[in-house]
Structure 1
Amino acid sequence: MTNYFERVNALIDAANALDPNLEEDNGQQISKELLYSQRMTSMLEAFDTSASEALKIAARAQHIERWRSPRSDYPEGRTGYKKWRANLGLFHAQRTAELMEEAGYDADSIDRVKYLVQKRGIKRDAESQCLEDVICLVFLQYYLDDFATKHDEAKLIDIIQKTWAKMSEQGHSAALKLNYQAAMLELIQKALS
């Protein structure tokens, strides 16, 4: 790893530490997107021990400064949601590019990370697929339980099935090894049957 890598990680962490939304982790309050980036980094390290520098940056920056583009700024419904997600991907890619440039990266490295952050080429590009797998694993490990408190069983099954469809076989294998509460494991098994 380069000195640039250490610099860009510090810049990403500093940006995400400004998130005013807090989440509890191990009894401590931490900025939500900083915690998410830490979870993404840890999951990538466990999932792919040979991940490239570009992939590591993309994982850490996946939700960079997400609070600056709230879902509530877009219309309700599927069309509004899709527009928000598309604009969010562009925002994350551009913000990451700015921080990479500040850290000293060249244009080719920046372009590769922007491509990954926007999750282009899933199912065709091995690194994009790896990033998608890690995103899904982080969701299943840390955020599915919260979704379960807000949605009925039919919606949860749909979410699990859509998540599963995005993942590779390696991702499926890793997902089945995660620790779930008994009720959640039962729901996942129901969704996959």
Structure 2
Amino acid sequence: MDKLQKAFALFDAYNQQDPFTLVWDGVTYPSEYFYAIELYNWILKLEPQASEAVLLASRSQHIGRWTIPRNTYPDGKAGYLNWRSDLSKFHAQKAGELMLQAGYPDDFIADVQRIILKQKIKLDAEVQLMENALCLVFLQFQFQNFIQKHTDEKLIHIIKKTWNKMSQPGHSAALTLPYSEKADALLGQALG
């Protein structure tokens, strides 16, 4: 097994420990394992020749997310932002540890961590590719659940924010997704 496959196996084994599950097409998955696989799939759809660093980052972008629950931080925007910042650092660190076990050198690990941490997002094509894929995973697999939890006004704000994070390839892919009637109407309102 080469380094890439070893790293994928380590990432997947770690994410399969997620105690939270979701059901997709009648199959139950550990949540973060499912999202990591789908993020990886979106990377390949958007950029079939994606670099090894991006492929590794996609499979570890939210690795172990369940270990730092949102409710361990204060409510509100500041608490949310601190939680997200701490999570990103944790994901980068955990991915680095597992990549080291797979045999990757420190400089390559740092490159993957740069993508996980979304450094220079609008200036770095690999980081932007990751952001496009993350937004597409959200729209395809998570947005419908948000519809049931939030007001239309909040949902329109979420769509606008998501749209602004993506570049043209992300926008084009997002417009091909199948949406519920409600989601489609909200997208129409948000995007004008």
Shorter-chain TM-score: which interval? over 0.9
- What does 1:141-160 correspond to in 2, within 5 Å? 141-160=140-159
Q: Which residue of 2 aligns with 1:103?
A: 102
Q: Which residue of 1 aligns with 2:70?
A: 71
Q: Which residue of 2 aligns with 1:178?
A: 177
In the comparison of the two structures, how many residue pairs are matched? 192
Partner deviation per Cα, 1:120-171 (whole Å, 9 max, x = no partner): 1111000000000000011011110000000010000000000001010111
Q: Distance in 1 between matches of 2:47 and 2:89?
A: 25
Q: Distance in 2 between matches of 1:112 and 1:176?
A: 31
Q: Distance in 2 between matches of 1:156 and 1:104?
A: 43
Q: In the TM superposition, what is the alpha-carbon distance from 1:183 to its structure 2 partner?
A: 2.2
Partner deviation per Cα, 1:75-108 (whole Å, 9 max, x = no partner): 1111100000000000000000000000000111
Q: Which residue of 2 aligns with 1:93?
A: 92
* Structure 2: gaps of 5 or more residues: none
Aligned to 1:123, what secondary structure does the other structure show? coil
Q: Distance in 2 between matches of 1:81 and 1:14?
A: 28
| Identity value in percent | 43
Q: In the TM superposition, what is the alpha-carbon distance from 1:190 to its structure 2 partner?
A: 0.8
Partner deviation per Cα, 1:16-61 (whole Å, 9 max, x = no partner): 0000111112212210101111111111111111100100111111
Q: Which moved more, 1:168-177 or 1:110-119?
A: 168-177
Q: Which residue of 2 aligns with 1:169?
A: 168
TM-score, normalized by length of structure 2? 0.98
TM-score, normalized by length of structure 1? 0.97
* Structure 1: gaps of 5 or more residues: none
Q: Distance in 1 between matches of 2:145 and 2:182?
A: 13
- What does 1:131-142 correspond to in 2, within 5 Å? 131-142=130-141
